[in-house]
Structure 1
Amino acid sequence: MDNYYCTIRILNNKKISLYLWESEQNSKKMFYPICFTAAYSDLLYNLICSHYYLNDLSINHLLYIGQELYKAELSLTLNQKYIQD
């Protein structure tokens, strides 16, 4: 199991935001998420790749994040509501 999990949201029908949270099992402290926000998934990809925490995520988790970012961008393009799986 990964030490982090992600939530993806659409902000103001204009931007994609990804929040990287530390798993509660790893610590008893309260942590704030690391936030990545961009208008397009390729820009968000560049931001995410610059952060070292993503090295700790499994390949399956990274593929899932990529799939969800694609869905989020598609929902922006088609002006539809995005719901994360």
Structure 2
Amino acid sequence: MDNNFFIVRVFQQTIIEIYFYNNNNLLKVDQCYPICFVFYLGDFSQITYLLSLCDEIFHCSTIHKFYLGKEIFKAQISIQLNQCYIQD
């Protein structure tokens, strides 16, 4: 399992924000800055295509990729149903 993690957030019921933290710490740096993605109610296939272009996400474990897909799908459903999104 890798040390990377994602934070998925819904902003103003129209925007899905994804923060990817690459926590490999190869440079022994204390700070960890995220790679940020912002989507305006995009199609799920468009979101996953754009994320697949990021080399760091491409090298994540399969478990992390499945988890991210599940959370993006939950965020889209919460927006469509006008519900509050809470990440697992």
* TM superposition score category, shorter chain reference: 0.7 to 0.9
Relative to its length, the structure with more helix (as a share) is 1
Question: What does the per-residue CA deviation read over 1:22-57, in whole Å, with 9 as the maximum and x for residues that have no partner?
Answer: 22x624331321011112233322221110001221
C-alpha RMSD of matched pairs (Å): 1.5
| Residue segments in structure 2 that go unaligned for 5+ positions in a row | none
Specify the code of the residue in structure 2 equivalent to 1:35.
C
Structure 2 length normalisation: TM-score? 0.84
Post-superposition shift, 1:72? 0.3
- Which residue is equivalent to 2:64? 61
* CA distance, structure 2, for counterparts of residue 3 and residue 57 of structure 1: 9
Specify the code of the residue in structure 2 equivalent to 1:14.
T
Specify the code of the residue in structure 2 equivalent to 1:9.
R
8 Å CA contact 1:19, 1:33 repeated in 2: yes
* CA distance, structure 1, for counterparts of residue 58 and residue 48 of structure 2: 14
Question: Does residue 77 in structure 1 map to residue 80 in structure 2?
Answer: yes
Structure 1 length normalisation: TM-score? 0.87
Within 5 Å, give how 1:41-52 maps onto structure 2.
41-52=44-55
* CA distance, structure 2, for counterparts of residue 56 and residue 2 of structure 1: 9
- Which residue is equivalent to 2:16? 16
* CA distance, structure 1, for counterparts of residue 82 and residue 46 of structure 2: 19
| Residue segments in structure 1 that go unaligned for 5+ positions in a row | none
